[in-house]
Chains A and B, each alone.
Chain A
Amino acid sequence: MAGACGWADPADSPACDRSRPSRIHGNVSSRFAIAVEPGLIAAARAGSLPAQERLYRLFERPGHNLALRLLADPDDAREVLHDAMLKAFTSLNEFRGDCPFWAWLRKIVVNAALMRLRARQPRGLEGLEELDAAGPLPADVPDPGRLADGARVERALAALPAATRTVVWLYCVEGWTHAEIAGALGRSVSFSKSQLARGLARLRRVLGVEVSIHA
């Protein structure tokens, strides 16, 4: 069950009384899933720069990584991280604690990344390139056995159209539901489902993972 901030399960909510922030394990595969002490959030909300820097350092890598996976451009990802963290620190009063802090921050990063994608497109998010069912298949020859090559997976992911890549990453790695993805993209749930199925099919073909899909 996903919450309003796109987090996977109430059972995965971070234990906030830990002395040190730590990774959350379980169904959430997102690297954002880092528990944060309420005191640290309160200090950052009060304007403490050291507290804000601590939060920044905690989420710098996952924030940049998420933006990079959605945008496939390191410069854009760096700007999105900056914009998102600035937005988060100036909006901390709006964080009410009804979802984990990481999920709240992650949504800000996703929105900032989508804003940037929107700015790239003359027609906004609706103009984002997407995979067409009748579109050509990649000429890349599948090479079974090389799936573990992370760079190859990265290239295949980055080669997906922006909308398809966004759906695949948010669904498969961040654990968002189709309804949440559709809401963020301003598209329908069926759009999210079809892009996921097509995106995964293309990745499987490019990467040589031939398994049937039960969409």
Chain B
Amino acid sequence: MPDMRLFDDGPHDPLLHCLRALPECAPDSDGWPRLAAELRALQARTIARPVRRRRVLTGLALAATVLLALLLPRGGHGPLPGPGTAGTPAPGTDPLAALVAQSQWLETLVSAPALAPDAQDSDQVLLDWGLRQHISVIDQALQVAAAGEARQQLWQARVDALSQLLQVRWASRREGLHDGMADGAALRPTVLWSN
């Protein structure tokens, strides 16, 4: 409950009354059709993914290997960190330095040509754009942020956003590889089948 000491007559203060009595403004156009279209698209993707995942589980594992084969020679940063290592700096490591390093590493991965966003997938383009905007806002905040916990939180937010961007691009790339396999176009790097 607001502190009514600010108002001479508590909830009956004329200014408070006027603010609360302001007319409710409705939007000038119906936003539901646009929202419904986006929700339908999201639902379609959510439903389609598990079915596809079951059907091509083995193929996806191979696709991941193909993707790694594409990524690693270009990145030149050694193997990907193992599960659970993100955000867990080694004892004695400066947490801020660890976050900056993580951020740089994720940025290298995201920038890999093999993970370039698919311009034909409007949902992915929107997601990708939104995340990049978010990262841009964080970067602006970092330019003026003082040292200390606030700065560390911003770097953590940057790492989180880059991780999400990587996941979005990875998912798109994975689907692209699967689609290619279904067409018989993938699995060409036969060297991967040497065993």
**A53 lies within 8 A of chain B by Cβ:** yes
Report the separation of the CA atoms of residues A176 and B38 in the bound assembly, to the nearest whole angstrom: 32
**B8 lies within 8 A of chain A by Cβ:** yes
Cβ contacts A123-161/B at 8 Å (1 or 0 each):
110110000000000000000000110100110010000
Stretch binding the partner chain, chosen from B14-22, B65-73, B78-86, B109-117: B14-22
Report the separation of the CA atoms of residues A78 and B29 in the bound assembly, to the nearest whole angstrom: 8
Query: What is the distance, in angstroms, from A163's C-beta to the closest C-beta of chain B?
Result: 16
Cβ contacts B68-112/A at 8 Å (1 or 0 each):
000000000000000000000000000000000000000000000
Question: What's the tally of chain B residues with a CB closer than 8 Å to chain A?
Answer: 37
Asked if B24 contacts A61 (CB within 8 A), the reply is yes
Asked if B22 contacts A153 (CB within 8 A), the reply is yes
- Chain A residues within 8 Å of B19, by CB: 153, 157, 168-169, 172-173
Asked if A209 contacts B15 (CB within 8 A), the reply is yes
Contact of A49 among B3, B6, B24, B39 (CB under 8 A): B39
- Chain B residues within 8 Å of A53, by CB: 32, 36
Report the separation of the CA atoms of residues A27 and B18 in the bound assembly, to the nearest whole angstrom: 16
If A8-B1, A56-B32, A207-B18 touch, whether A123 touches B24 (CB-CB below 8 Å) is no
- Chain A residues within 8 Å of B189, by CB: none
Query: What is the distance, in angstroms, from B58's C-beta to the closest C-beta of chain A?
Result: 29
Query: What is the distance, in angstroms, from A75's C-beta to the closest C-beta of chain B?
Result: 9
Contact of B20 among A29, A60, A123, A196 (CB under 8 A): A29
Asked if A62 contacts B24 (CB within 8 A), the reply is yes
Asked if B6 contacts A200 (CB within 8 A), the reply is yes
Asked if A60 contacts B31 (CB within 8 A), the reply is yes
Report the separation of the CA atoms of residues A81 and B34 in the bound assembly, to the nearest whole angstrom: 12
Asked if B27 contacts A81 (CB within 8 A), the reply is yes
Question: What's the tally of chain A residues with a CB closer than 8 Å to chain B?
Answer: 63
Contact of A86 among B1, B16, B35, B141 (CB under 8 A): B35
Asked if B22 contacts A154 (CB within 8 A), the reply is yes
Query: What is the distance, in angstroms, from A122's C-beta to the closest C-beta of chain B?
Result: 6
Asked if B31 contacts A81 (CB within 8 A), the reply is yes
Report the separation of the CA atoms of residues A73 and B38 in the bound assembly, to the nearest whole angstrom: 24
Query: What is the distance, in angstroms, from A10's C-beta to the closest C-beta of chain B?
Result: 12
- Chain A residues within 8 Å of B18, by CB: 147-148, 150, 153, 207
Contact of B137 among A74, A118, A175 (CB under 8 A): A118
Asked if B140 contacts A124 (CB within 8 A), the reply is yes
- Chain A residues within 8 Å of B26, by CB: 60-61, 64-65
Asked if A74 contacts B20 (CB within 8 A), the reply is no
Asked if A27 contacts B1 (CB within 8 A), the reply is yes
If A82-B34, A147-B18, A173-B20 touch, whether A90 touches B42 (CB-CB below 8 Å) is yes
If A56-B35, A123-B140 touch, whether A197 touches B6 (CB-CB below 8 Å) is yes
Q: Which of A57-73 contact B (CB under 8 A)?
A: 57, 60-62, 64-65, 68-69
Asked if A196 contacts B6 (CB within 8 A), the reply is yes
**B25 lies within 8 A of chain A by Cβ:** yes
Report the separation of the CA atoms of residues A69 and B19 in the bound assembly, to the nearest whole angstrom: 10
Report the separation of the CA atoms of residues A203 and B16 in the bound assembly, to the nearest whole angstrom: 10
Asked if A200 contacts B42 (CB within 8 A), the reply is no
- Chain A residues within 8 Å of B36, by CB: 49, 52-53
- Chain B residues within 8 Å of A62, by CB: 24
A-B contact pairs, 30 of them (CB 8 A): A56-B32, A60-B26, A60-B27, A61-B25, A61-B26, A64-B25, A64-B26, A78-B27, A81-B31, A82-B31, A82-B34, A85-B31, A89-B39, A122-B140, A123-B144, A124-B144, A126-B144, A127-B144, A147-B14, A150-B21, A200-B15, A203-B15, A204-B15, A207-B15, A207-B18, A209-B15, A211-B13, A213-B6, A213-B8, A214-B8
Which 6 A-B residue pairs are closest in the complex by CB-CB distance?
A64-B27, A29-B20, A124-B141, A211-B8, A65-B24, A153-B18
